[in-house]
């Protein structure tokens, strides 16, 4: 992208993939360097040490934790486990596009349910849309790209009313005060998936995990790759869980930054519980605004590629205070120019 736009890489402001603006934690970097010479050795099968560390972090026994190559890898394994040809998944849109992709790859049929205007999931309509062929419902909370959460009560209603698996994707959970993970011990059809890519700043290492009910563990292991997380990921994941200072800083930066973006962007900004905000740039089109920002070296996400998102939404990752100021100035300039 830098080459294409004629910018030096360090001049670009990349606010398109919800990564941590703090860069890699220096404590994690030190641990990675220390273990570099061990890379000719396979990781331990199913990474018990990393699962042990996650188990402490989430407060579940180690046999309720499974891991994979990013949250994507875990979601993919879950779908391969539960979806046979013709089985259906329900996906409240707009949301993370990967749920649709993995359903189709497993020869399943994604059924889409439009969220309400403020992006809340219409729980009654969702429950009514479940059929005998429904095997998985995907709930993303906080939702990508809208940033809103589902309450524990809403998730409980869904989980209690259906026989299929409910996957709650909590990729952005660290940025909110709300998690439905305590419900996994109460319901045997709820799975919570998470990632190290966002608040822990390890997107490049591809580490994800899920908190699953007891009975799913054995089933998951039958289809799981034995070396699903690479050795650097294992080492870095354990170190990242110990680095509370980095985690707190990332979370504070996101919480303060999203308030700044919300109060200063002159377009409509939706309230967010994540490390990004969704902006409605109408009457402009998302495509033209994204191109306009690119001219200033700022990369944000055009949400027209999200099913059901229309053509006027952009998603901006909360960056450093300087990056946030830069994107606000550029966006407001585009808005002002349009009003002239």
Ligand X SMILES: Cc1ncc(COP(=O)(O)O)c(C=O)c1O
Q: Where do contacts with ligand X occur on this chain (CB under 6 A)?
A: 18, 70-72, 96, 140, 144, 169, 171, 195, 197, 203, 208
Going by C-alpha positions, the residue among 183, 112, 176, 122 that lies closest to residue 149 is 176
Q: Which residue is nearest to ligand X (CB)?
A: 70
Which of the 8 DSSP states describes residue 6?
T
Toward ligand X, which CB reaches closer, 239 or 334? 239
Contact 12, 1 (CB under 8 A): yes
Least gap, CB of 229 to ligand X (angstroms):
11
Q: How far is the CB of 198 from ligand X (least distance, A)?
A: 7
Of the pair 284, 306, the CB lying nearest ligand X is at: 306
Tokens read off for 330:
């550029």
Nearest approach in angstroms of CB 110 to ligand X is 16
For the chain, the distance separating the N- and C-terminal CA atoms, rounded to the nearest angstrom, is 31
Smallest gap from residue 71 Cβ to ligand X (A): 3
CB of 45 to ligand X, least distance (A): 21
Name the residue nearer to ligand X (CB basis): 21 or 71: 71
Nearer residue to ligand X within complex by CB, 18 or 148: 18
Report the distance separating Cα 258 and Cα 276, nearest Å. 7
Q: Write down the least CB distance from residue 335 to ligand X, Å.
A: 27
Which residues neighbour 327 within 8 Å (Cβ) at sequence distance 6 or greater?
13, 15, 261, 293, 298, 300, 316, 319
Q: Is 87 helix (H, G, I), strand (E, B) or coil?
A: coil
CB-CB contact of 323 with 15 (8 Å): yes
The crossing angle, in degrees rounded to 10, of helices 70-82 and 98-105 is 40
- Give the shortest CB-298-to-ligand X separation in angstroms: 19
Q: How far is CA 63 from CA 90, 193, 211, in A?
A: 28, 15, 9
**Nearer to ligand X among residue 192 and residue 334 (C-beta):** 192
CB 209 within 8 A of CB 54: yes
Q: In terms of Cα–Cα distance, which of 3, 5, 10 is closest to 294?
A: 5
β-strand partners of 145: none
CB nearer ligand X, residue 235 or residue 284: 235
d(CA 138, CA 144): 12
Q: Which is nearer to ligand X, 224 or 284 (CB)?
A: 224
């Amino acid at each position: 992208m830098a080459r294409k736009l004629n910018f030096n890489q360090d001049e670009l402001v990349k606010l398109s993939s919800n990564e941590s603006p703090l860069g890699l934690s220096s404590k994690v970097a030190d641990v990675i360097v220390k273990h570099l010479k061990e890379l000719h050795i396979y990781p331990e099968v199913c990474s018990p040490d990393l699962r042990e560390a996650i188990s402490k972090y989430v407060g579940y026994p180690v046999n309720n934790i499974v891991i994979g190559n990013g949250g994507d890898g875990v979601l993919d394994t879950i779908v391969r486990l539960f979806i046979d040809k013709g089985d259906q998944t329900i996906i409240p849109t707009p949301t993370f596009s990967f749920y649709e992709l993995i359903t189709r790859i497993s020869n399943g049929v994604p059924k889409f349910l439009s969220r309400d205007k403020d992006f809340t999931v219409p729980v009654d309509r969702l429950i009514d849309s479940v059929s005998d062929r429904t095997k998985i419902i995907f709930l993303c909370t906080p939702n990508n790209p809208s940033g809103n959460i589902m309450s524990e009560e809403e998730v409980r209603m869904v989980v209690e009313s259906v026989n299929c698996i409910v996957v709650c994707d909590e990729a952005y959970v660290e940025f909110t005060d709300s998690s439905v993970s305590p419900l996994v011990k109460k319901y045997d059809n709820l799975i919570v998936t998470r990632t190290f890519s966002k608040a822990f700043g390890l997107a490049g290492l591809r580490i994800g995990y899920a908190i699953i009910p007891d009975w799913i563990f054995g089933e998951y292991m039958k289809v799981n790759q034995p070396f699903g997380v690479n050795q650097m990921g294992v080492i870095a994941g354990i170190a990242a869980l110990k680095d509370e200072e980095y985690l707190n800083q990332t979370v504070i930066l996101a919480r303060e930054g999203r308030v700044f973006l919300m109060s200063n962007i002159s377009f409509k900004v939706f309230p967010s519980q994540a490390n990004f905000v969704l902006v409605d740039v109408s009457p402009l089109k998302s495509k033209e605004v994204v191109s306009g920002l690119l001219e200033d070296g700022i990369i944000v996400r055009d949400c027209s590629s999200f099913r059901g998102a229309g053509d006027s939404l952009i998603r901006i990752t909360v960056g450093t205070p300087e990056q946030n100021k830069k994107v606000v100035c550029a966006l407001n300039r585009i808005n002002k120019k349009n009003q002239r």
